[in-house]
Every structure is written in C-alpha cells, then in structure tokens.
Structure 1
Amino acid sequence: MHSTLIVARMEPQSAEEVAELFSAFDESDMPHRMGTRRRQLFTYRGLYFHLQDFDSDDGGERIESAKNDQRFVDISENLKPHINAYDPSTWRSPKDAMAERFYHWSAL
C-alpha cells in the first residue's frame, strides 16, 4: 500500500462542507479508478491534512489519468473556496503540497 499526505490551509468552519464534497465524490467510482483504498481528512489550527492510501505505488499515475474526468474537475473547483495552498508562492499542483514521509514503522 502507498500513502500520500496533502497539507494545505482551511478554515475550520469549512470542514463539514469539505467532508460533504468528498463524501459525494467517494460514492462514485472515482476512488476505484484512482486506486484509492482509504481517504482521511484532518484539520488542526487552520491547517488541512488529506491522507490517502492507495492499492499500490501507482496511485500518482492513476490520479493523473483521472484529472480530466469531469467529476475530478468539479470537486477540485468546488474545493477552491475552502482549501488554500500552504505556500501559494510554490504551489502549482497538489503534488507541491504533499508531505514527504521520512519514517515508517509497521507491525506487519
């Protein structure tokens, strides 16, 4: 399994609407198309954390291939009023907001 963590800014009062947007998105076949096994959203003091687990390491490639799907375009547009780049001067795509894992431990 492969995981990604996107870090951005979000006002805490947006959490419910953002959750509703992702809930509708995740009820479609899009998570399967992108290889998403699990999605978790967190907020902490104005920060937004989007943790996704994928079936395999090709999650990034599968997301890239899904970017042209109208549902992906729509959720990206609908999230804009709620989610802002952590560092707008360096942000060009969600990949620029991905945290880099530097340690991992598993009991498996």
Structure 2
Amino acid sequence: MSYRALMVMRMAPGHADAVAELFAEHDKGDMPYVVGISRRTLFRYQDLYMHLLEADTDVFDKLLAARARADFQEVNRRLSAYLQRYAPDSMTELQDSKATPFYTWSPETGSIT
C-alpha cells in the first residue's frame, strides 16, 4: 500500500463500538471499492478517534468527490452523533481532519522526512 491518510477527531471512548458498527455496515456497500480503499483501521486513544485509510494510490480526491453520494452523507449524519471535530473553529471540511505526516521509515526506503 503506497497511500495512507489519517483523519483525527474527538470521540468519547464509550462510542467506539457504535462507530465500528456504522463502518462495518457502510463497508458492506461499494464505497470502499469505488474510492479505491484497500484497508480502513479505526483507532481510539482516550478522547481521540483516528481513522486510517490505506490504498494503492492517492484516493483523497475520490473520497472528496464521494461526499455527494447518499450513502456517504448518511454514514456521516449517523457518525455525527459520536464524533466531533478536533478543533471546531478551524475544521470545516473533511480535509481539515487529515493529519500531516512528518516522519516515515521503512526498511526499503529508510527515513523520509
């Protein structure tokens, strides 16, 4: 996998199961295939929610385009009961929740900054 995007939001720890269930239901549809996502991993740490998307190529533009789909809008509506923007004053769009990588290491490439 050569593309990863990490989204960060706030979530009460007790909501993890409900959020996982929503994504499990959502991922049964064709959205991951249409966008090109090969893996989705959800993490929580205290009140943080981290959503890692992995793909073979950069799929972020496809993900942004998918916002017009009814199933995307529905899952976001349902997730809004559990997730809050990390910084509500500065986060208005999906891309505002995307973390910026600042160090990468792999055995093949070594360190990349």
Q: TM-score, normalised by structure 2?
A: 0.90
Instruction: Calculate the aligned-residue CA RMSD, in Å.
Output: 0.9
Paired with 2:27 and 2:107, the residues of 1 have a C-alpha distance of 29
Paired with 1:94 and 1:8, the residues of 2 have a C-alpha distance of 11
2:52 corresponds in structure 1 to 51
1:79 corresponds in structure 2 to 79
Q: CA-to-partner distance for each residue in 1:56-92, whole Å, 9 max, x for gaps?
A: 02x1111122111111010010000100000000011
Identity of aligned residues (%): 36
Q: CA-to-partner distance for each residue in 1:12-67, whole Å, 9 max, x for gaps?
A: 1110010000001111110011111100001111110001102202x111112211
Paired with 1:24 and 1:40, the residues of 2 have a C-alpha distance of 14
Q: Is the strand fraction higher in 1 or 2?
A: 2
Q: Is the 8 A contact 2:64 2:94 kept in 1?
A: no
Q: Say which structure, 1 or 2, has more relative contact order (CA 8 Å, 6+ apart).
A: 1
- Matched residues, number: 107
Query: Residue 105 of structure 1: SS of its match in structure 2?
Result: strand
2:111 corresponds in structure 1 to none
Paired with 1:45 and 1:35, the residues of 2 have a C-alpha distance of 30
Query: Residue 50 of structure 1: SS of its match in structure 2?
Result: strand
**Paired residue type of 2:56:** D
Task: Give 1:8-19 correspondences, 5 Å limit.
Answer: 8-19=9-20
Q: Which structure has the bigger radius of gyration?
A: 2
**Paired residue type of 2:44:** T
Task: Give 1:2-81 correspondences, 5 Å limit.
Answer: 2-57=3-58, 59-81=59-81
TM-superposed deviation, 1:98: 1.0
